[in-house]
Every structure is written in structure tokens, then in C-alpha cells.
Amino acid sequence: MPKVKWTATIAVVFVMLFGLYSFNDDKRNFEIIKNLDIYYTLFRELNSYYVDETEPEELVTTSINEMLESLDPYTTYIPESDMEDFRFMTTGEYAGIGSLISKRDEHVVIAEPYEGFPAAKAGLLAGDKILEIDGKNMVGKSTPDVSDMLKGPANTSLKIKVERPGEKKPLTFELTREKIQINAVPYYGMVDDETGLIILNNFTQDCAREVEKAFLDLRDQQGAKNVILDLRANPGGLLDEAVKIVNLFVPRGMEVVSTKGKVKQWDKVYKATRQPIDTVMPMAVLISRGSASASEIVSGALQDLDRAVIIGQRSFGKGLVQTTRNLSYNAKLKLTTAKYYIPSGRCIQALDYSHRNDDGSVGLVPDSLISEYETLKGRKVYDGGGISPDILVDAPKYSSITFALVAQQTIFDYATQFVLDNKSIAPANEYKVDDATYNQFIEYVKVQEDFKYTSRSQQKLKDLIEIAKKEDYYSKAEDDFKQLEETLKLDIEKDLNLFRNEIEELLAIEITKRYYYQKGAILVGLQEDKELFKAKELLRDKSQYNGLLNGQVLSHAGDKRSMKE
């Protein structure tokens, strides 16, 4: 073909493609304008003629939230009124009294004062019912309403009137609000002669610095030769902090994570940019179904770079990047703009939202959707959502009565009563619920008239009876059904003894928290921690540890079946 004709052909094709692109672009813009106009006219008609008065702001907020929910769980609208909570989620910092609160019937109660902050220093206790704040009645108010009253500028004072169990008259406390910075590392310490543990609760600003300080103290001052990083139930947070934490343990220049999205200019590769503090100490990372986002970047990168052994359950599977965009009237839109990819090339994000467990974590993933990748040393790993551990440890399963004792706050209420009767207990790392205390707890639960629970067996039988009645089988086997109902009839005392081990641990944690705050509760929880025991055992066995990292020992991360947990 002559050069002139060839050039002309290319020009025609280019014009056609450009015209098609412009047509599609124009069509999309027209669809946006058309639907916005429909929305405006619909809202106008609704506001003018609906039979009852409408709340415009509430209607628009509902429509926005429903629209965003149809995309993914993480693209959210943040009105100006929620900005304080948003800042706390990213910085871990706010100004207030330093206490967790919760709703109980008509009252908001102090659930957990934080050690060293105004609520604890003033003498507020878990179980105190808030009656008034600065003379304003708080009975019947919602938890957010009370929270707003407790928060405020640092160095401002407030008065709180509370009703305390065991006290005949209300008590009044005067407090001064402080800048509350929740430490992302609530605990670190030695768990045996050679092994240090660092618990990281979230990825807020400067958390990498806290992890570094903890590690150096464990290694240089306390003699740790192995380290365990606990990321269980850590929901994530700031991406930069996750990269910095991985950088503490891998050589400078190593890729940690990359992001890829629609706007290619925003795609980015994050690498370790500084000299690490340790690249050789044996390391285990604990994860659970609640470990998400930044937790998955850290555990996934350390797994892909063969720097640590991952222990626990498959993580949540949240590998979406959110960017905050400014909107009118000081509102913001937190929207998903990209996905996370760890060094092997795996995407952390679950493949779809239809294969989720009840808690939102990754559920069953069909083999056909799973792809194989390799770690730095050639170990096989798979995508499909979340990080699959090298060593799988089943998550604890709790009975119906245990769920009820927690949900109905029966354990919480008993601990409040326990504190009134006991001025002190053994040190947190030694405390155990003895027989006398547990028997007292049983008697306490038995007299709680409003305590109710249903076993799974009872619920299944109830469903079966309903089906049998619909299909006309019930009358033919009515005696058998009634006998089975009697057999499955709940016996609170029997169940409290049957499931004592799991109930006892939760009871010990709640009691210890009242005397030794969060650190005390953590120490009690570590006493019977299966994942921690497994990690210590592995780190002591260097041949198994090295074999896992070198691919000589089969791990769950290298087993496609582990994606079917």
C-alpha cells in the first residue's frame, strides 16, 4: 500500500476511534445530567406534596448512603458532624475524658476508663451510670449524644453526676478534658525467656514508631531472641504506617505494596526507604478474621518476602484503597480508588462480596477463581481474598450461653458487683477465677430474671417443628417432638458448668480490667492463648521455622484448600 494511502487509513481509523470515544463520553455525561435532573425533580415533588412533613437532610443522607452501599462497604459519606470521629479513626487522638461508654437501658454507663486519663484519675469506675453532664439530664440520651457532651476542647472542665452500684446517693465528679492519644501498642513484653510479644491494635499516626520502640526494648534490654507481632482483630488504618512497619524488618529497597486503580497517575509502588532495624530475628505474625487492610499489607508482605511465619486464621480480605475528597459544606467523601497488591502480585481484596462469612470476612472461594503466586523464595501462595496463614489455628468457638452472657452484659454487671465486694485481687499475670468466685457467679446468673438465651439445638428444633406442622407430620410424631423438647430444655446451671472454661476466661478478663485496666485484661487473655502457644513453640523449633520459610514444610498458605476455610 502506498505511504499516502496508509497514512490516510490510519488517520481515518484514528478519527473513527476518537469519535467513538467522544460519543461514549458524551453519552455518559448525558446520562449523568439526565439522572441528576430526575433526582432533583423527584426530590422537589416529594418535598412539596408528600402527605407528611419530610426532613430534607435526612432524606438526602439516606439516599447518599444507600447509593454508596451499592458499590462497596468502604466508600462512605462523612458529614461535617462526623468529622471528629473521622479524625479519631485516622489519628487515634481526641479531646475528652478517656473512657469507653455503652448503653444500658435508659442510661449510658462508663464501660472502661482508660488508665492515666481524666476519667480514671477522677475516680470514675466501670458500671457508673451517667445521670447528668454539666447539669444537663443524660437519662434516655443516646450514646453519641452523651459522647458529644463528654468531648470538647482540651483543658476545659465538666461535671459528671453518676449513679454507682452500692452507693445510696449519686456522686459528682469534676474533670478536665485532655488530649486523648490512644497508644496503638497497648502491650509489649516477654512471653518466655527468649520470645517478645508486641500487640498492635490499629494503624494510627506514628504507630510504626511505637512498634520500633517496643522491638528495640525487647531485643536490646530484655534479651528477646524471637519476636511475635500480634495483629489479631486489627482493622487497619494508615497505609504509610504499614509500609514503615514492614520496613523495620526487610532490607531497604524491597517492594512492600502497590496500588492500582482507574486513575493511572495515582498508581504507586511503596518500597522500604530506610535501613531496617532487624532482618534476621525469627518472627511470627498472628492474624485473625478481623485482621484487615493495613494488617493484611504487613502480614502479606512479610509472608511474600519470607520474613515471617503467619499464624492464625485467614484475614478479612479488605484490599481496597480509600481516598478522601472534599465536598461542599465541610463534608467529605471517602471513596475507593484502587486495590492493594502485595509483593508476590496477589491482591488482598476478596474477589466478591457474595462469598462472605457472617462477620464480613472471606468465605468460600471456588477453586476456579483462585490463582497461584510465589513468594521471594518460591513458596506457593494464593489469592482469592485475605492472607492465608502458614499455620492455621482454629478460632475459638463460643456456646450460646456465653454469647448471651456477653451480649446481655451479665458478665459486666457481675464484675461491677465483684469490685464492690473485693478491694484487690492477685497480680494480673497470676489471676484466675477460683471455684468460690465461679460458684458465686452461677448463683448471680440464676437470679437474673431477664437473662434469656436459646441454644442452637433448640432453635433448629423449633424450625423443624414449624416445617413438620406445615407438612402435616407434627401430629403423627407429637409425643416424640415433645420428648425432644424436654430433653433439650435449658438448664442454666448445667450449661454454666459445661462451658466453664470459655466463660471463666471472659469473666477473668472483665474482672482484671477493673483493677489493672487494659494491660491487665491482656495479660489474663494471654494465659490460655492457643495462637500464642503455637507461635512460641514454632519459634523455639528453628528447623521447623526455617523449613516453613524455605518451603520444605507444607504450610496452609501453600495449600489451595486453605482458601475454603
Which residue is it, cell 511505637?
210
Query: Looking at residue 77, what is its pLDDT?
Result: 86
Q: Are 485 and 462 in contact (CB under 8 A)?
A: no
Distance, CA of 60 to CA of 40 (rounded, Å): 11
**pLDDT beyond 90 at 143:** yes
Residue 311 pLDDT more than 80?
Answer: yes
Which DSSP string corresponds to 418-434? HHHH-S--S-TTT----
Q: Which of 99, 288, 291, 293 is catalytic?
A: 293
- Ranked by mean pLDDT, the top range of 242-256, 261-275, 549-563 is 242-256
- H or E element at residue 129: strand 129-133
pLDDT digits (tens, 9 = 90+) for 316-356: 998 888 788 888 878 888 888 889 999 999 998 886 655 56
pLDDT digits (tens, 9 = 90+) for 532-542: 999 999 999 99
Q: What is the pLDDT of residues 105-126, one digit of tens each?
A: 899 999 999 999 999 999 999 9
Query: What are 423-438's pLDDT values in tens digits?
Result: 999 999 999 999 999 9
Is 52 tagged catalytic? no
SS in 3 state form for 280-291? CCCEEEEECCCC
Distance between CA atoms of residues 343 and 255, nearest Å: 6
Active-site entry in 129, 161, 295, 304:
304
What confidence category does residue 359 fall into, taking pLDDT thresholds of 50, 70 and 90? low
**Amino acid symbol at 520:** G
Catalytic (active site) residue 334: no
Active-site choice (141, 161, 244, 318): 318
**Radius of gyration (C-alpha) of the chain in whole angstroms:** 28
DSSP assignment of 344-372, as one string?
Answer: TS-B-S-S-SSSB-TTSSB----GGG--E
Residue 494 appears among annotated catalytic residues: no
CA dist 287 to 102, 290, 298, 374, Å?
27, 8, 10, 20
Residue 303 has pLDDT above 70, yes or no: yes
> For residue 116, what pLDDT is reported?
94
pLDDT 10s digits, 464-513? 888 888 888 888 888 888 888 777 777 889 999 999 999 999 999 999 99
